[in-house]
Structure 1
Amino acid sequence: MVTGIRSSLRLACIAMCAAAIGGAHAQGDRSARPGDFDYYVLTLNWSPTYCAGREDSGNDRGRSSRYDEEADTGGGYRFFNDRRNGRSSGSDEQCNGSRPYAFVLHGLWPQYERRGWPESCRTDYRPWVPNELIDRMLDIMPSRQLVIHEYKKHGTCSGMDPRGYFAAARKAYNSIRIPDEFQDLTKPLRVGPEEVRRAFLEVNRNLTPDMVQIVCSRNRLQEVRVCMSKDLQPRPCAESRRLCNYDTVTMPPIRGGGQGPRGGPTQRGDRL
């Protein structure tokens, strides 16, 4: 009897371990071929939440930012080159109020229809993002390190070179209108995740609720994600799970005052 129980427990453990390994593989597939995916997720990050999170964790007192840490895993050499060239790290500029970042482009992520996504795909060329191209993306992406990281992790799986990938990312970003009430936020706003979704649906009539996902970090709005086909047309998301379990979240105000990158005079000035 005891032997039978032990055998059952052993089999259950093996099954759970196999499931865990399979799930981990499904979430980040590094064996994928470039271009072998089903659809995109356009990710719009509420920049003030990122900056508030840095302050919460003490990052502004000398610790690295989340974007910096991500960049160091795939393109840290470029980060150090930037410092030698006298360029700012990007994250400081994002949060010091010198530019009023609001909804910024986090990335355009290839996804699988059945759970997970490809990442860091092997290419037959060096996945180097030229400085000139990085500079041209900084009106909608707030960090040089983020630009580099996004191409290395996600862009390499798109089947496009850096110029083609960021042209597609800008086109996708420009295709989504940001609601006016989020363009010039000077005070913290308490809002329900579904209110944020409805606000985007009202000004983007080609979207339906199943195409838009709301993501929160603790009790703050973190991201709005829009699912798109490979030709950048809105489509339903494959996963319908809720990514924010709060009834209301806070949107910290835009730093530096004024409107964010989608509301300023250079909104669409820097084209690839």
Structure 2
Amino acid sequence: MTNLPLLCPYKPTTPDASEIEKVPHIFENGYILCQFASAVALIVVASLCLIEANQTGIGIEIGSRRQREFDYFNLALQWPGTFCQHTRHCCSSNACCRGANSPTVFTIHGLWPDYNDGTWPACCTQKSFDEKEISTLHDALEKYWPSLSCGRPSSCHGGKGSFWEKHGTCSSPVARDEYSYFLTTLNVYFKYNVTKVLNEAGYVPSNTEKYPLGGIVSAIQNAFRTTPKLLCKKGALEELHLCFYKDFKPRIVRLDLPVQMAGYIQGLAVVKRKFQVPDADYSQTSSNIWTFVLSTPAVNSFIAIGFSSNGQMVGSSAIVGWVSSTERTIKQYFLGGTSANLVEPDKGNLQVASNFSLITSQSSRLYLGFQLETSQPQTRLLYSVGPDGFLPVAPNYRLIEHSDKFSTSINYITGQSTSNSQSPYSKLRKSHGVLNMLGWGILLIIGVIVARYLKPYDPLWFYLHTCIQSFGFILGIIGVVCGFVLNNKLNADVSTHKALGIIILVLGCLQVMALLVRPEKESKARKYWNWYHQGVGRILIIFAIANVFYGIHLGEKGKAWNAGYGAVLAILVVTAVIFELRLWFKK
């Protein structure tokens, strides 16, 4: 057998229909290769399946005869070209490596009943292996489970039947006897035909091509809706594991992923303020390849990371991922503005490495991993999480506004990150909001109350009304100017807010101009002027209140600002009601 580093040789063959029910089509000629093993580990580990201690050192065998029922099945497949490079895996007859010089398919290593806690049952009954029980399956087992002939001594038995005696006897009540166990294993092997899936996904054997493990993982995910575990040796794929519930529906084993990731990567941790994505890490895989992994407990939301040159959302590109009941999706978006129609899917300035992106949901967390091809990514990172239960859907894949966000500045040389607790131009934003709220949204209302209810105190009411409205108008103009300056700096898409502001400014100017043409009290036109003045003032106030609340929404100031302004309005309304009741009683 030729020992080929990084290569797993095999060529096509088609099994006879008599060997097993509905045997699928098998791989074609060539070699399968593994690349980027170190970088992909941090993504693949998102769905590791626990396997036997004598293979990986994970887990503990339970050897007592009285054992509880197992929790799930672990189907382990092996690639003979890699598995058999080390003769210690094989028995003296080398049966397990039969055809390893020109392998055609992944072969079976075993179907193991396992526990969720990392242990597994073993040697559950005293039933000895009887080869006659599976005589009708002999040819299929020899071809697709050749290592079965090389059984190593176990804690209960040894020789060819050791796998059944050690593991198969613990598969009850799913498989209650020897024949049922081996037939079930073969049927699961062919139903979840890894060889066929990879072939159809374009991962065909080749003497020259090298395939990233992330692409292989994605192909399995898309076909079986689960994440496999891949084991490589010296860059060559050796084993592939799939986990199943007892009804053989795919499942993922519960593991502490952040702890495992820490062993693979060095990087940053996003500041754990209120943000829902406390885990985000990066590593430089090579001179121009950067790997990113982030996670969130919001499994029914999208998770996103944007790369910005100035810390602004607008103009940046983002990688967004989500897991729905039917698909796992990762897309790049270009953030052309703040409105949904300007956030465009499948566009952006990021060079994402092909076949090396992964999104998975496990242990009540969502994990997103991807690679960027660049000498150094942009240093201003924007993180966001979507609202719970609202995922982008085909054909537009439009994003709903995020429910939470956070940003950091990163030094890729030192690995240090600095949280950006304040939004860019935060002082200008606050000045714009406070001036407009106080001028248009509060003082003008107070001026109206004075004009309506303090008429008996003539001419005091008039001077108070004029002064208050003039002061409010001046503050409002300054606030509008701040808004135009802010819009030019941010280049934000706030067309509705801007339009309302212009309307309010125009109405305010009309009110000032109306003072210059105010008729005398005795004039017949004074009645119509009063109607105009009062009508325009009321419309202005309605627009002002609406735009203040809308501005709070755009600025994402939250409930505190809404509650504060709402409380001021409530006080003004109560005051007006009290004065109005006094007028009625006097009449």
The normalised TM-score by structure 1 is 0.58
Aligned counterparts of 1:245 and 1:94: Cα–Cα separation in 2: 35
- Per the TM alignment, residue 41 of structure 1 is displaced from its structure 2 partner at its CA by 0.7
Mapping of residues 34-45 of structure 1, within 5 Å:
36-45=69-78
Alignment check: 8 A CA contact 2:58 2:118 kept: no
Mapping of residues 158-177 of structure 1, within 5 Å:
158-159=171-172, 160-177=176-193
Higher Rg: 2
Mapping of residues 1-272 of structure 1, within 5 Å:
27-31=60-64, 33=66, 36-51=69-84, 53-54=85-86, 59=87, 65-68=88-91, 89-97=94-102, 100-119=103-122, 121-130=123-132, 132=135, 133-143=137-147, 144-146=149-151, 148-159=161-172, 160-178=176-194, 179-180=198-199, 185-187=205-207, 189-202=209-222, 204=223, 206-209=224-227, 212-239=228-255
Indicate the SS of the match to 2:216: helix
Partner amino acid, structure 1, of 2:127: Y
Higher RCO (CA-CA < 8 Å; seq separation 6+): 1
User: For structure 2, which runs of at least 5 residues remain unmatched after alignment?
Assistant: 1-56, 152-159, 266-284, 287-587
Aligned counterparts of 2:62 and 2:206: Cα–Cα separation in 1: 41
Partner amino acid, structure 1, of 2:131: V
Aligned counterparts of 1:191 and 1:183: Cα–Cα separation in 2: 7
Q: Which residue of 2 aligns with 1:16?
A: none
Partner amino acid, structure 2, of 1:170: L
**How well do the aligned residues superpose, as a CA RMSD in angstroms?**
3.4
- Per the TM alignment, residue 136 of structure 1 is displaced from its structure 2 partner at its CA by 3.4
Counting matched residue pairs gives 190
- Per the TM alignment, residue 45 of structure 1 is displaced from its structure 2 partner at its CA by 1.0
Alignment check: 8 A CA contact 1:42 1:226 kept: yes
Q: Which residue of 2 aligns with 1:11?
A: none
- Per the TM alignment, residue 197 of structure 1 is displaced from its structure 2 partner at its CA by 0.6
Partner amino acid, structure 2, of 1:148: G
Deviations 1:20-76 (A, max 9, x none): xxxx9951111154772100011111221112x22xxxx3xxxxx4142xxxxxxxx
More strand by share: 2
Deviations 1:103-122 (A, max 9, x none): 11111111101112122x14
Indicate the SS of the match to 2:248: coil
Partner amino acid, structure 2, of 1:129: E
Aligned counterparts of 1:35 and 1:47: Cα–Cα separation in 2: 34
Q: Which residue of 2 aligns with 1:19?
A: none
Identity percentage over the alignment? 25
Alignment check: 8 A CA contact 1:34 1:158 kept: no
Indicate the SS of the match to 1:226: strand
Alignment check: 8 A CA contact 2:80 2:97 kept: no
Indicate the SS of the match to 2:131: coil
Q: Which residue of 2 aligns with 1:260?
A: none
Runs of 4+ in 1 over 6 A off after TM superposition: 242-248
Indicate the SS of the match to 2:164: helix
When residues 199 and 187 of structure 1 are mapped into structure 2, their CA distance, relative to the original with a 3 A threshold, is same
The normalised TM-score by structure 2 is 0.29
Aligned counterparts of 2:68 and 2:184: Cα–Cα separation in 1: 14
Partner amino acid, structure 1, of 2:141: M
- Per the TM alignment, residue 161 of structure 1 is displaced from its structure 2 partner at its CA by 2.0
Indicate the SS of the match to 1:114: coil
When residues 126 and 148 of structure 1 are mapped into structure 2, their CA distance, relative to the original with a 3 A threshold, is closer
When residues 189 and 142 of structure 1 are mapped into structure 2, their CA distance, relative to the original with a 3 A threshold, is farther
Aligned counterparts of 1:188 and 1:33: Cα–Cα separation in 2: 52
Aligned counterparts of 2:243 and 2:101: Cα–Cα separation in 1: 31
